[in-house]
Amino acid sequence: MKILVCISKTPETTSKIKFSEDATELMEDGLQYILNPYDEWYALVRAVELKEEFEGSVTVINVGPASNDTVIRKALAIGADDAVRINVEPASAMSVANHISDYATGKDYDLILLGKESIDYNGSVMGAMLSEFLNLPFIAHASGLTKGGDAWEIERGITGGTERVRVNGTVVVSAAKGMAEQRIPNMRGIMMAKRKPLEVIEAENKASSLETVGYAYPAEKTAVKMIDPNNMEELVRLLQEEAKVI
Amino acid sequence: MILVYAESNEGALGKSAFEVVTFGHKVAQLLGKQCIALVLGNAADAGILGSYGAQRVMQLSDASLDTFDGRVHAQVIHEVAEQLGADVVIMPHGPKGHATAGRVAVRLNAGCLTGINAIPTLEGEHLVAEKDVFSGKAIHRVAVTGEKKVLTIMGNTVKPERSGTAVDVESVGVTPIASTLEVIDRQKQTSDRAPLPEAELVVSAGRGMKGPENWGIIEELADALGATTACSRPVADTGWRPHHEHVGQTGVAIRPNLYIAAGISGAIQHLAGVSASKCIVVINKDPEAPFFKAADYGVCADLFEVVPKLTAALQNRS
Ligand SMILES: Cc1cc2nc3c(=O)[nH]c(=O)nc-3n(C[C@H](O)[C@H](O)[C@H](O)COP(=O)(O)OP(=O)(O)OC[C@H]3O[C@@H](n4cnc5c(N)ncnc54)[C@H](O)[C@@H]3O)c2cc1C
Ligand SMILES: Nc1ncnc2c1ncn2[C@@H]1O[C@H](COP(=O)(O)O)[C@@H](O)[C@H]1O
């Protein structure tokens, strides 16, 4: 079984986010990056489990600069066999999808996994784009993924519940919570990761139809109003008359 | 022309359908264009979308569309968009939108911005939209410069507004491609509460509850309000509550009118999914709990005493 897993990096969630003076760029200094949790905990771990069950290989792919190699090595330590980095600063989800589709075309993957969303920009959009470029079926928000014969059986989130679907052949799947349990890389994995192949492919940026106008900080919350625990009638009154939410 | 994909689920238009049409109508006004709603699959009275601002409502009630396949929906949306000459395609930011918007954008070679949470503005000739990024720590303002645009809209971004009258439903002259997916089982959430992403009132609880056997007081509070229940991540991870209740950065992101959090400390990853709520009430016995900084109203006390009192006060409200 040949599996491709798309991985991305995201600022560590507790990092302080700062912008350039004209508020158009994220300041990189002092930012710690991690593997995007959906890619790491769910997509990658499930890929490694499937490889353990059916044999085959897991390749991780990232579109990004050389500084991403640290998170790519982490993915190798968790159990991917090899890695590919398309060496270009991604301009948009569309350009990421375009690059990954260029790479994956003709390589006969049985499964392409990615995360439900990146937790920095929360796009939730790359998978559908990649599937369209590759003309493959796509299942979003999958919380379960198993193989029976030629068919994949996938549990996916839908509005107000879940659904199990069956699909034959190669499929693109975005992983959500429930698909696997987080794995902590062990010492042996970390040592082996250093020797696993990481191929770097040079590429030109693809045109993007999105331009950052600027970043802003959300308005400061007004100070919390503390309510006497013995006077919940007062809280109800405030919710009705002041906040007007009930 | 603005084409709005109005979601129908199990034969009925959902709340998101009325929201996106209202949103589409406002974008259409901004750009001086027409707003057309598109419904795929069964939905009895799709013409009602006319009263939310759609000048025309088109529907393809082909039964094959009821099994959701983003590839098929995207093909139909794309062909309708081409036939009608759509400049902007608008969809809800939910499971269906996530499987469809990107495909439509590729097919139309459009600029695609997802998760928008305010009405866009025009700056010069550019449509500028904004969304929350970095776990709610910043707002990203983006110009969508492509000639064609695909946008997805967060739930609760606009309140559905009636601005016209119902219209006759027109049928769509597109033959959907065959789906390669087969649905073998469907599990509905076993509660009559609104689905979390659509809920306007949410009651949530965390590890401060001590154990799943104590959730009765949370259910009762939710009943008194007509609210949906939610929980923090460790609560879902240890199986005290179902996974679909988990809110936060790695769970569902919500923006209800009211979010009541009992026994939740307010970690940054939790706040990431709830801080866009209009009004936040925090019940915690620790005065130093970080959640109080993000709250509008706070009650510093033992939740096991306060929650039943709040329920009683709500039941007795005028
Ligand atoms: C990458 C990453 C992603 C994450 N994603 C999420 C996410 O999506 N959602 C999420 O929720 N978390 C997430 N977390 C976990 C998060 O960091 C916190 O650990 C978690 O939110 C804590 O849950 P809690 O508030 O229920 O529990 P605790 O932090 O243990 O807090 C319990 C609170 O209850 C209060 N309490 C206890 N007893 C009582 C009582 N009798 N009366 C009143 N108050 C009481 C305590 O004072 C305390 O504040 C994530 C973490 C990481 C690293
Ligand atoms: N630069 C990238 N390189 C490889 N995969 C990516 C990249 N950006 C996003 N992805 C994948 O696409 C998923 C969804 O990202 P997004 O649509 O940006 O929210 C992520 O969880 C990753 O699996």
Confidence check: pLDDT of A206 > 90: no
Provide the pLDDT confidence category of residue A159 given band limits of 50, 70 and 90: confident
CATH number, position A145: 3.40.50.620
Residues 6+ apart with CB under 8 A from A31: A11, A12, A15, A17
Q: Any residues with Cβ below 6 Å from ligand 1, and which?
A: A 13, 37; B 206-208, 232-235, 248-251, 263-265, 267, 269-270, 273, 284-286, 289, 302-304
**Total domains, chain A:** 1
Residue A237, in any domain of the structure: no
Interface test with B, best of A130, A132, A234 (most B CBs within 10 A): A132
Please give the residue of chain B at the shortest CA–CA distance from A133. Answer: B106
Q: Tokens 């949790």: give the residue.
A: A37
Domain boundaries, position A197: 2-218
Residue A229, in any domain of the structure: no
What pLDDT is stored for residue A188 in this prediction? 94
**Per-residue confidence of chain B (318 residues) as pLDDT tens digits?**
999 999 998 888 988 999 999 999 999 999 999 999 999 998 989 999 999 999 999 999 988 898 899 999 999 999 999 999 999 999 999 999 999 999 999 999 999 999 999 999 999 989 999 999 998 899 999 999 989 999 999 988 999 999 889 999 999 999 999 999 999 998 887 677 888 888 999 999 999 999 999 999 999 999 999 999 999 999 999 999 998 899 998 888 899 999 999 999 999 999 999 998 999 999 999 999 999 999 999 999 999 999 999 999 999 997
Residue B263 Cα to ligand 1 middle (Å): 8
Residues of B in contact with A177 (CB under 8 A): 236, 243, 246, 250-251
What pLDDT is stored for residue B66 in this prediction? 81
B104-158: per-residue pLDDT in tens? Answer: 999 999 999 999 999 999 999 899 999 999 988 999 999 999 899 999 999 889 9
Residue A77 Cα to ligand 1 middle (Å): 29
Please, how many CA atoms are within 13 Å of residue B275, restricted to the half-sphere of its CB? 25
Residues of B in contact with A128 (CB under 8 A): 70, 74, 98-103
Confidence check: pLDDT of A157 > 80: yes
Residue A152, in any domain of the structure: yes
What is the helix (H) or strand (E) element at residue A215, kind and residue range?
A: strand A210-216
What pLDDT is stored for residue B318 in this prediction? 76
Cβ of B95 within 8 Å of Cβ of A156? The answer is yes
CA–CA separation, B113 vs B102, rounded Å? 9
Residue B284 Cα to ligand 1 middle (Å): 11
Please give, rounded to a whole number of angstroms, the shortest distance from the CA of B249 to a CA of chain A. Answer: 7
Q: Tokens 């369209």: give the residue.
A: A132
Residue B278 Cα to ligand 2 middle (Å): 30
Residue A80, in any domain of the structure: yes
Residues 6+ apart with CB under 8 A from B192: none
Q: Which of A23-32, A194-203, B26-35 shows the lowest mean pLDDT across its residues?
A: A23-32
A93-145: per-residue pLDDT in tens? Answer: 999 999 999 999 999 999 999 999 999 999 999 999 999 999 999 999 999 99
* Ligand 1 atom 26 nearest Cα: B206
Please give the residue of chain A at the shortest CA–CA distance from B292. Answer: A224
Which ligand ends up closest to the CA of A128?
2
Report in angstroms the alpha-carbon separations of B1 from B23, B73, B90, B119.
14, 19, 11, 17
Task: Tell me how far apart the 2 most distant CA atoms of chain B are, in Å.
Answer: 62
Report DSSP state, residue A48.
H
Dihedral over Cα of A204, A210, A212, A218: its sign: negative
Residue B174 Cα to ligand 2 middle (Å): 32
Residues of B in contact with A235 (CB under 8 A): 281, 297, 299, 310, 313
CA–CA separation, A204 vs A91, rounded Å? 11
Report DSSP state, residue A205.
P
Residue A128, in any domain of the structure: yes
Residues 6+ apart with CB under 8 A from B68: A158, B96, B99
In 3D space, the residue among B213, B217, B219 whose CA is nearest the CA of residue B239 turns out to be B213
Residue A45, in any domain of the structure: yes
Averaged pLDDT, A68-95: 96
Q: Any residues with Cβ below 6 Å from ligand 2, and which?
A: A 6-8, 36, 38-39, 61-64, 90, 93, 96, 114-115, 117-118, 121-126
CA–CA separation, A155 vs B53, rounded Å? 36
The ipTM, to two decimals, is 0.94
Residue A227, in any domain of the structure: no
Instruction: Compute, in degrees rounded to 10, the torsion defined by CA atoms B179, B184, B190, B194.
Output: 0
Atom of ligand 1 nearest to the CA of B231: 11
CA–CA separation, B292 vs A76, rounded Å? 40
pTM of the full structure: 0.93
Please give the residue of chain A at the shortest CA–CA distance from B314. Answer: A236
Cβ of B279 within 8 Å of Cβ of A19? The answer is no
CA–CA separation, B137 vs A95, rounded Å? 25
